[in-house]
């Protein structure tokens, strides 16, 4: 069997489980700014989160709804659109970085950290 045209990694999961995995990893990355996972998951997350960040930078209602659909929580989606995306306006792509860290002791899986390239500053909440 050929491998041409088959995009993305399977991770030994069914389609809905893969989608849930990517949503969870993306949500954690937006909430914490940096996460550690296995290298293949990190590389696949780059493809997923870059598209979400591009939509979040547009900032209109339709884009905001697509970002909400792509993350697990509305709070994470609002943080991505309102706080993270405006700080990444200077870039057209390459918003996140994958850095290999270690080999996991239990199964020998190669681990990596994924984080935003630009240093994100916490945005002060406006009180009324």
Give the CATH number, domain containing residue 79. Answer: 3.90.1030.10
What is the maximal distance between C-alpha atoms in the chain? 62
Q: Tell whether 107 is covered by a domain.
A: yes
State which residues form the domain around 47.
15-116
Q: How many CB atoms lie within 10 A of CB 85?
A: 21
Q: Tell whether 4 is covered by a domain.
A: no
Q: Count of domains in the chain?
A: 1
| Parts of the chain with a pLDDT under 50 | none
In this prediction, residue 77 carries a pLDDT of: 96
Structure pTM? 0.90
Q: Tell whether 73 is covered by a domain.
A: yes
In this prediction, residue 126 carries a pLDDT of: 66
Q: Are 89 and 57 in contact (CB under 8 A)?
A: yes
Q: What is the DSSP string of 43-104?
A: HHHHHHHHHHHHHHHH-SHHHHHHHHHHSS-HHHHHHIIIIIHHHTTT-SS--EEEEEEEE-
């Amino acid at each position: 069997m050929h491998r041409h045209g088959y995009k993305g990694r399977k991770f030994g999961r069914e389609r809905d489980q893969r989608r849930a995995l990517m949503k969870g990893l993306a949500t954690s990355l937006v909430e914490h700014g940096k996460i550690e996972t296995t290298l293949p998951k990190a590389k696949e997350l780059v493809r997923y989160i870059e598209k979400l960040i591009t939509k979040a930078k547009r900032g209109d209602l339709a884009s905001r709804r697509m970002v909400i659909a792509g993350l697990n929580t509305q709070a994470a989606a609002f943080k991505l659109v309102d706080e993270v995306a405006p700080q990444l306006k200077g870039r057209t792509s390459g918003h996140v970085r994958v850095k290999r860290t270690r080999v996991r002791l239990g199964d020998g899986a190669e681990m990596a950290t994924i984080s935003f390239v630009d240093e994100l500053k916490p945005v002060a909440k406006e009180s009324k």
